[in-house]
Amino acid sequence: MANIGYARVSSVGQSLDVQLDKLKDCEKIFQEKLSGTSDKRPRLKACLEYVREGDSLVIIRLDRLARSTLHLCQIAAELEHKKVDLQVLDQNINTSDATGRLLFNMLGAIAQFETEIRAERQAEGIRKAKERGVKLGKKKKLTNEQIAELQTKRSEGVLIKNLMEDYNISKASVYRYLAEKQPLVQE
């Protein structure tokens, strides 16, 4: 019976130090720096494969573990099937008893609600910014003239890989620029 920790931050610039300090009593800690919305979290997958019957998976908060209530329930079912308890330190949850399981499910639903409210606010903010004429997203790397030139070269048979090299852009960017309507080039 071992305590196995899992720590996650959303981006490379963030630090795991606070979580690792709280998980210091765990025999093994899996850690990663990836968004919670990512489907590919290899260290979480490895952690879930590693835990054995009688172990406890220890995290600091529910939002560090799952990307949605559904995902949280799937992880909880997998842990239950393996007879592994879940301990959530900051929220004082331990699924080894009925009260802990009830609290776990209630907090999971509240966390999902908060995530959805946050997403609604973000969408509203983006909509209002667009109404004010704010340009969102990454600035184009190529000028309209360069895009027109790229499109012309491609229509003349220049290979995608050569366009990537010529303009120092990714394959996805080449295709995105090729799909754009022909920009008006001012002479």
User: Which ranges in the chain belong to alpha helices (H)?
Assistant: 17-22, 42-50, 69-81, 98-131, 144-155, 160-167, 171-179
Q: Is 68 a catalytic residue?
A: no
Which residues neighbour 136 within 8 Å (Cβ) at sequence distance 6 or greater? 126, 129, 130
Catalytic annotation, pick one of 10, 96, 170, 173 = 10
Q: Report the alpha-carbon distance of residue 103 to residue 119 in Å, rounded.
A: 24
Name the β-bridge partners of 32: 8
Which residues are catalytically annotated?
A: 10
